[in-house]
Structure 1
Amino acid sequence: MTDMHIDQKVLSDLREVMEEGYLQLVQTFLDDSERRLSQLRAARSAEELSTVAHSFKGSSSNMGAVALAGLCQQLEERARRPPLYGIEDLISRIDREFLEVQHFYRGEQQRILTG
């Protein structure tokens, strides 16, 4: 399951580079992601959607959440080509993918805290 959602190489590099800061990085990513999801749902313009999708894509990619980054990229590209009919489906897919990523990273937090 994980390999479809998370790039393990990126993850191991992050753990190595961040060391003690890794746990905080994970928490910041989860918090930021929830905020970005809210922003996507609340977006009222194509430009707003594109901007939020772009920043969400970047943070997801940095955290190794490859499938999530890919969906955000699709949304970013789609938002540049109005009209936006059917875009809710893409946002729902991003929501569902984030749940997978969130579940994985919550597991990472537990592993570190109980490790």
Structure 2
Amino acid sequence: MTDARIDAAMMEQLKELLGERFTELVDRFIQDGERRLGLLREALKTQDFVAIHAEAHGLKGSSRNIGANILGGLCSDLEQMGKENKAEGLQTVFAALEQEFAAVCAELRTW
């Protein structure tokens, strides 16, 4: 598989390493990501920058662990905005993050 959203070589390595548990990894990533997006959505409403930073940081790590580097980069941007208490542009970055997460999940489901 060649798709720019996910590092295919990393996914193949994970699949080989985890065997039957690979599907569990994918399911957990999706469930955790959906939970974190919900928490981020609420944090954006109240401009809870501590929560924005923390949730974006957590999603960044799990995204990079599966080779979803574009998603990880968007999370990094949001994480930094939370760290800097920067409200300007938060909604735009979050909207891009949501779209990328949906695309990554769709790609993951093909694995």
TM-score normalized by the length of structure 2: 0.90
In the aligned structure 2, how far is the partner of 1:80 from the partner of 1:23? 34
CA shift for structure 1 position 85: 2.0
Structure 2 match to 1:112: none
| Mapped pair 1:93 → 2:111 | no
How many residue pairs match? The answer is 107
In the aligned structure 2, how far is the partner of 1:104 from the partner of 1:66? 13
Structure 2 match to 1:37: 37
Query: Where in structure 1 do 4 or more consecutive aligned residues deviate above 2 Å?
Result: none
**RMSD of aligned residue pairs (Cα, Å):** 1.1
Instruction: Tell me the percent identity.
Output: 36
User: Which residue identity lines up with residue 76 of structure 1 in the other structure?
Assistant: E
Structure 2 match to 1:111: none
Structure 2 match to 1:24: 24
Gaps of 5+ in 2: none
Distance 1:74 1:83, change over 3 A: closer
CA shift for structure 1 position 82: 2.3
Structure 1 match to 2:9: 9
| Mapped pair 1:58 → 2:71 | no
Structure 2 match to 1:77: 80
In the aligned structure 1, how far is the partner of 2:4 from the partner of 2:82? 25
CA shift for structure 1 position 63: 1.2
In the aligned structure 2, how far is the partner of 1:107 from the partner of 1:49? 30
Gaps of 5+ in 1: 109-115
